[in-house]
């Protein structure tokens, strides 16, 4: 009990001396000028790539992407009219470049003539990191404007781990977008997890994942686990469901 009183007294003295210190301070004591944040020119319009972004798809070519099933081959999805459309015959595609932490912007369109239900309705996915052996993490793409499925498999979910905070889906036929802040997991030299992955997602400008700490990868079957990896490609999913394919445009990333 005496110890408790003593420690409370200690806190009180600290608070009093801190406030006395603050009384003796000038405004400039808490202002500093270096390092100066480097200049970045923002895009002219919302969603446009800022000056320091790596443009992954500019509407013209898929040069930054390759096929996942055969990484010696080009991505092979159809590019027309400034957009790229999933080709279910070609399978998943991934970036040539590998990333750790980043800010990502990506826009997608689920066609207004979409059919199917549940997970078989406009299913694709943005994998923030996708490595061989299943070390991959999916931010779900799906039509959930009016489509019931398991909530941790909805659009804006971290697949089978975390439902979106709210349903911010637009109608099929309208362009939608994700803005993502991704912090990659870190592993030590023995492959043990040091810090888990974290993700923040805005879906059509609405917060749906708020600095969520991932429990591991995002498998279809089974529980999440971490498997060690370094810098990783970003992957887009060609889902096997028969519903009409979806399209993407204006994809850029800012490595952090």
> What's the closest the beta carbon of residue 14 comes to Mg ion, in angstroms?
52
Stretch that binds Mg ion, among 84-92, 117-125, 175-183, 221-229 (CB under 5 A): 117-125
Chain position carrying tokens 């595609």: 93
> What's the closest the beta carbon of residue 33 comes to Mg ion, in angstroms?
47
Q: Which is nearer to Mg ion, 49 or 234 (CB)?
A: 234
Residue 164 CA, distance from chain mean position:
13
- Reported residue count of the chain is 256
Q: In this structure, are strands 198-203 and 206-213 parallel, antiparallel, or unpaired?
A: antiparallel
> What's the closest the beta carbon of residue 122 comes to Mg ion, in angstroms?
9
Q: Which is nearer to Mg ion, 123 or 232 (CB)?
A: 123
Q: Does 243 bind Mg ion (CB under 5 A)?
A: no
Q: Tell me, by CB under 5 A, how many residues bind Mg ion.
A: 3
* Stretch 222-241 residues interacting with Mg ion (CB under 5 A): 237
Q: Which residues contact 123 (CB under 8 A, 6 or more apart)?
A: 140, 141, 142, 237, 239, 241, 243
Q: In a 3-state reduction of DSSP, which class is residue 206?
A: strand
Q: Which residues contact 51 (CB under 8 A, 6 or more apart)?
A: 40, 41, 42
Q: Does 125 bind Mg ion (CB under 5 A)?
A: yes
Give the whole-angstrom CA distance, residue 156 versus residue 108: 12
Give the whole-angstrom CA distance, residue 124 versus residue 138: 9
> What's the closest the beta carbon of residue 11 comes to Mg ion, in angstroms?
51
> What's the closest the beta carbon of residue 172 comes to Mg ion, in angstroms?
16
| Burial class of residue 60 (count of CB atoms within 10 Å of its CB; 0-12, 13-18, 19+) | exposed
Stretch that binds Mg ion, among 96-104, 108-116, 123-131, 186-194 (CB under 5 A): 123-131
> What's the closest the beta carbon of residue 237 comes to Mg ion, in angstroms?
5
Q: Which is nearer to Mg ion, 67 or 140 (CB)?
A: 140
Stretch that binds Mg ion, among 46-54, 116-124, 185-193, 241-249 (CB under 5 A): 116-124
Find the residue with minimal CB distance to Mg ion. 125
> What's the closest the beta carbon of residue 195 comes to Mg ion, in angstroms?
26
| Burial class of residue 40 (count of CB atoms within 10 Å of its CB; 0-12, 13-18, 19+) | exposed
Q: Which is nearer to Mg ion, 67 or 119 (CB)?
A: 119
Q: Does 123 bind Mg ion (CB under 5 A)?
A: yes
Question: Which parts of this chain interact with Mg ion (CB under 5 A)?
Answer: 123, 125, 237
């Amino acid at each position: 009990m005496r110890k408790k009183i003593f420690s409370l007294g200690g806190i009180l003295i600290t608070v009093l001396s801190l406030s006395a210190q603050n009384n003796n301070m000038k405004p400039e004591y808490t202002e500093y000028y270096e390092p100066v944040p480097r200049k970045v020119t923002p895009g002219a319009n919302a969603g446009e790539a800022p000056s320091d972004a790596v443009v992954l798809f500019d509407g013209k070519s898929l040069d930054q992407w390759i096929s996942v099933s055969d990484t010696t081959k080009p991505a092979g999805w159809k590019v027309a009219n400034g957009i790229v459309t999933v080709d279910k015959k070609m399978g998943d595609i991934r970036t040539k470049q590998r990333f750790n932490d980043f800010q990502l912007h990506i826009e997608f369109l689920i066609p207004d003539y979409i059919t199917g239900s549940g997970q078989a309705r406009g299913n694709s996915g943005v994998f923030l990191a996708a490595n061989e052996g299943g070390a991959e993490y999916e931010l779900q793409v799906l039509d959930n404007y009016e489509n019931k499925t398991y909530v941790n498999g909805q659009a804006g979910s971290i697949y089978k781990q975390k439902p979106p905070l709210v349903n911010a889906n637009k109608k099929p036929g309208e362009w939608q977008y994700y803005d993502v802040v991704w912090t990659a997991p870190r592993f030590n030299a023995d492959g043990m997890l040091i810090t888990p992955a974290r993700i923040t997602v805005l879906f059509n400008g609405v917060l749906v994942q708020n600095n969520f700490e991932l429990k591991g990868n995002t498998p279809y079957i089974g529980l999440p686990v971490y498997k060690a990896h370094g810098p990783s490609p970003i992957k887009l999913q060609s889902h096997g469901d028969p519903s009409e394919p979806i399209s993407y445009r204006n994809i850029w990333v800012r490595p952090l």
